[in-house]
Amino acid sequence: TGQVETLEFQSEARQLLQLMIHSIYSNKDIFLRELVSNASDALDKLRLETYRDKELQADTDDLHIEIALDDEARTVTVRDNGIGMSRDDVVNLIGTIAKSGTAEFLRKLKESKEESKGTVGQDLIGQFGVGFYSGFMVADKVTLVSRRAGTDEGVRWESSGEGTYTIESVADAPQGTAVTLHLKPADDEDHLYDYTSPWKVREIVKRYSDFITWPVRMAKTGDGEEGAAGELETVNSMKALWARSKDEVSDEEYHEFYKHISHDWTDPLETVRMQAEGTFEYQALLFLPSRAPMDLFMRDAKRGVQLYVKRVFIMDDCEALMPNYLRFVKGVVDAQDLSLNVSREILQQDRQIRAIRRRLEKKVLTTIKTMMTEDAEKYATLWGEFGRAIKEGLLDDPENREQILEISSFASTHHAEKPTSLRDYVSRMPEDQEHIYYATGESRAAIENSPHLEAFRAKGYEVLILTDPVDEMWVDGVTGFDGKSFQSVAKGEVDLGDDKTSEEQKADYADLLTWMSATLAETVKEVRLSSRLTTSPSCVVGDSGDLTPTLEKMYRAMGQ
């Protein structure tokens, strides 16, 4: 046993711990779900590591999770014999929070706190799983002992969650990790911290972790018969959810499973099941989350679903199974005919994986389509959260472009708040309108005040109001929808059919135009008479082939 060192939590970690201690979640039972989930991940990682590294000196005989309760000491211990952590692992993984978007989350949280005068937005918190730290909701001290598989030296970590932790080497730690929670004093009113009750703990495991594919063991509870002291029994069913028949699994079970794999704390919006037999046999269980993660638009964001091969966990974030624009979709794919040794590189090339990916993509798109017609409110939530990402698909995936246009919706001059589908837009087009008109800009207000809209307003033509940066990109690449082309209101000569600038007017204004062209020669290509304005005296338009002002700004910002 070595020297005891005291270290400080990273400041973001400290803030999250404070939230835990001054507990923000009303449902404290979930700490157990988090610890069991981490133990399960650690067992998955060990199994994988032993496939990859045949030399690894690890004990894989009886991989399992054990929950031990001590009602005298008032402790709950969750133990696994999985991959374990080295000293550095513990400092980096437990002492800091590496999740991208943490700083952003804390900033938002602070704002919402100020707005609501002290009470923390439960909503916001729900989006941000705090995993291991959730133990501090029920414990005033947490001890973690761990040894990384294949190494000799163990590590012991301890903290009361108040800014610092201690860490020391230990000689005799078993492989894997044991986390011990020293429970806060019992709360008599509602037995809130009665987590030393085996019945209560079993019930929590059943509710939240039944599908965990490793055995979760607890001491046998005496039901009259004399069980040998120290005898354990498995308390979860260990059945992979995607392998069970649909009517055997409740929504709640699906939702808990979603939380386990996504590390999200809110229920998903939609659950999608798929089953394919024949040449490429696989099962998939996909989820459309109800909220966008903080890092949806960050470059290093995780994406993709989990890959299993014949029930064996292979990898998280398998990008090869989901196109980038659907990166928010979570879930599991269990393929029958892949090797357990597949690597990411191999997967990118694999024909079977590509075929599965195409099927998953189609299924997600049709699910959204159905949602659009059958549950408008749900669809509106989905689109509000993920629309900006989905629209990237209009450029990235020409093959499914029609489908993506079909499930997209856009703000428009038709309604101040409600976005419209293109289908609805087209159905409202007056007979003489040929194109689908759109305006791009920074905000709705800016677009509505633009003189470019005047003529359209006068004609009663609806205009799509596109304000997302990605809109600037796809409108150039996508030619049309339902046989109607997309036309910018700000580009070229908009042919609204009845140009009333007569020869006479042209003659009248010839001098003025010549003078203006000369004076503005440095800044504009041409000055011409137009009938597109009704109240503004003039406006600037781009050539059909030109960049829009927003794109120009974007390119300039990128130094091009």
What are the helix (H) ranges across 375-502? 376-390, 393-396, 401-407, 422-428, 444-448, 454-459, 469-477
Residue 38 lies near Mg ion (rule: CB under 5 A): yes
Tell me the window of 37-45, 150-158, 201-209, 521-529 that interacts with Mg ion (CB under 5 A). Answer: 37-45
Report the interface residues with ligand ADP, using CB under 6 A.
34, 38-39, 42, 80, 82-85, 93-94, 129, 131-132, 177, 263
Tell me the window of 129-137, 395-403, 515-523, 530-538 that interacts with Mg ion (CB under 5 A). Answer: 129-137
Token pair, residue 199, equals 């019945």
Q: Across the strands, what pairs with 421?
A: 409
Residue 147 touches which of ligand ADP, Mg ion, none (CB < 5 to 8 A by kind)?
A: none
Total residues interacting with Mg ion, rule: CB under 5 A: 2
Residue 148 touches which of Mg ion, ligand ADP, none (CB < 5 to 8 A by kind)?
A: none
Residue 289 touches which of ligand ADP, Mg ion, none (CB < 5 to 8 A by kind)?
A: none
Q: Is 130 annotated as a binding residue?
A: yes
| Maximal C-alpha separation, the chain | 110
Contact call for residues 504 and 477 (beta carbons, < 8 A):
no
Residue 44 touches which of ligand ADP, Mg ion, none (CB < 5 to 8 A by kind)?
A: none
Q: Is 132 annotated as a binding residue?
A: yes
Cα–Cα dist 474/487, whole Å? 12
Residue 135 touches which of ligand ADP, Mg ion, none (CB < 5 to 8 A by kind)?
A: none
Contact call for residues 189 and 39 (beta carbons, < 8 A):
no
Crossing angle of helices 251-262 and 198-209, in 10° steps, is 80
Residue 80 touches which of ligand ADP, Mg ion, none (CB < 5 to 8 A by kind)?
A: ligand ADP
Q: Is 508 annotated as a binding residue?
A: no
Query: What is the sign of the dihedral through the CA atoms of 315, 320, 322 and 326?
Result: positive
What are the helix (H) ranges across 116-216? 122-126, 198-209
Residue 131 lies near Mg ion (rule: CB under 5 A): yes
Q: Which is nearer to Mg ion, 105 or 425 (CB)?
A: 105
Cα–Cα dist 177/149, whole Å? 10
71-80: buried (b, 16+ CB within 10 Å) or exposed (e) per residue? eeebbbbbbb
Residue with tokens 């980038």: 324
Q: Is 161 annotated as a binding residue?
A: no
Q: Is 128 annotated as a binding residue?
A: yes
Query: What is the sign of the dihedral through the CA atoms of 294, 44, 10 and 34?
Result: positive
Rounded to the nearest 5°, which phi and psi values hold at 145?
A: -120, 130
Q: Which residue is nearest to ligand ADP (CB)?
A: 131
CB of 60 to ligand ADP, least distance (A): 15
CB of 97 to Mg ion, least distance (A): 12
CB of 37 to ligand ADP, least distance (A): 6
Side chain identity at residue 334, one-letter code: D
Cα–Cα dist 149/86, whole Å? 9
DSSP annotation of 94 reads I
**Going along 406-529, which residue ranges are E strands?**
409-412, 415-421, 436-440, 463-466, 480-481, 484-488
Q: Which is nearer to Mg ion, 59 or 316 (CB)?
A: 316
Residue 177 lies near Mg ion (rule: CB under 5 A): no
Residue 40 lies near Mg ion (rule: CB under 5 A): no
Residue 323 lies near Mg ion (rule: CB under 5 A): no
Q: Is 369 annotated as a binding residue?
A: no
Cα–Cα dist 127/331, whole Å? 17
Tell me the window of 124-132, 168-176, 252-260, 461-469 that interacts with Mg ion (CB under 5 A). Answer: 124-132
Q: Which is nearer to ligand ADP, 28 or 369 (CB)?
A: 28
Cα–Cα dist 34/481, whole Å? 47
Q: Which is nearer to ligand ADP, 94 or 541 (CB)?
A: 94
Q: Which residues are annotated as a binding site for ATP?
A: 34, 38, 80, 85, 99-101, 127-132, 177, 344
Residues in contact with Mg ion by the rule CB under 5 A:
38, 131
Q: Which residues are annotated as a binding site?
A: 34, 38, 80, 85, 99-101, 127-132, 177, 344
